[in-house]
Each structure stands twice: as C-alpha cells, then as structure tokens.
Structure 1
Amino acid sequence: MTLLYKLMNVGSGLPLVIYPFILIANVMSLAAPTNGQGGMLLFISRAFLILTTIYPISYFGCLILFYALKKQTLLVAGIPYLHLTLIAILFFLWQAAE
C-alpha cells in the first residue's frame, strides 16, 4: 500500500514541472488592475490564481508529513489531489462564467 502512496506523491508532483511558468503568469495577473468584472467572477478568478500559486505549499507540506513524520496514509497522499481538484473546479467555473 505504501507503494501506491509513493506513486501518488510522484503523480501529484508532476504539475510542479511547469510551476515556474504558472507562477510568473499568476503574479502578472494578480498585479494587473481589475477590468470592472463582477463580484463572483472576480472571486473565482482570484481564488484560482491564489490556489495555483500556493500549490507547492500543499504538496511539500504533505511530503514532509508523509516522509519525515511517517504519516503514510491515504489522506496525506491525497491532499495534493484534492488541491488540484479544487483548482480544476475553479478553472471550469471561471470559463463558464465568462
């Protein structure tokens, strides 16, 4: 079972390959002035940008729990996937709202 959890950790680390490019785009988007869009659309877009920016904190926090503190459970291995799921939901909400 720990092999599955280790594979889950590797799989959830794959988005970090493109993270430098995502970070640059997110910083530019967050620094840009708003274009007068509505309250809910602004919330969804900012939440998407913030969640994609802080993904490494979630991933590395779970890696520390998994390896250093020996909390090798499905919950700890699955938290990055939950984070990625929230990002995907916000992305589709953002696209549907526009």
Structure 2
Amino acid sequence: MKGLFVLDIDDEIWQDTGLEDSLDGTTTDPPRWLCDDLVRSGIRVQLELDRCIEEEDCIKHERRALQNWYSEEWNILCSAYGHTDSSELRYQLQL
C-alpha cells in the first residue's frame, strides 16, 4: 500500500502495450468480444435476458406480496362485516 501512489516514470504501469502484444513478444489475436460484432451482440442479448429474468423474479415477488395483502384485507373485511350489527356499516362494507 505504501508504494501505490509513488509511481516512478519507469514503472510498468506506464508502458503503452497494445492488445496484440503478448508477454513473450509474439502477436496474438484480439479477444472475440472486442473484434467480433456477433459476439458483442450476443453479450448484449445475454445481459438483456439476465435483466428480464431478474425483473420477472421481482414481479413474481411483488405479486405474491400483493396477493397476501389483499387476502388479509379481504379476511378483515369479512370479519368486520360478520361482527357488526349496524346496517349502515354493513352497507359501507358491502360497497
């Protein structure tokens, strides 16, 4: 950690090596994600699919929460309706 911000002008981090350079000096092909349009397109599609699956999981969770909430509200409403003798309140609960 001491030497992290004390970089010398000759440190390797400043060397301008390209994507085609390898450690042994031979030239290698660039990675397919960088040079192949179909691979890049496939990566974008896969990322979009992953986000759709995540969103579907969130929507399913929200649907379950909403169903539980509505079921609880319905049970409370039915209980209130069954335990009141007031015709005005029963009318409002029926609405």
Tell which structure's C-alpha radius of gyration is larger: 2
Coarse TM-score class (shorter-chain normalised): under 0.3
**Relative contact order: is structure 1 or structure 2 higher (C-alpha 8 Å, sep ≥ 6)?**
1
TM-score relative to the length of structure 1: 0.27
TM-score relative to the length of structure 2: 0.28
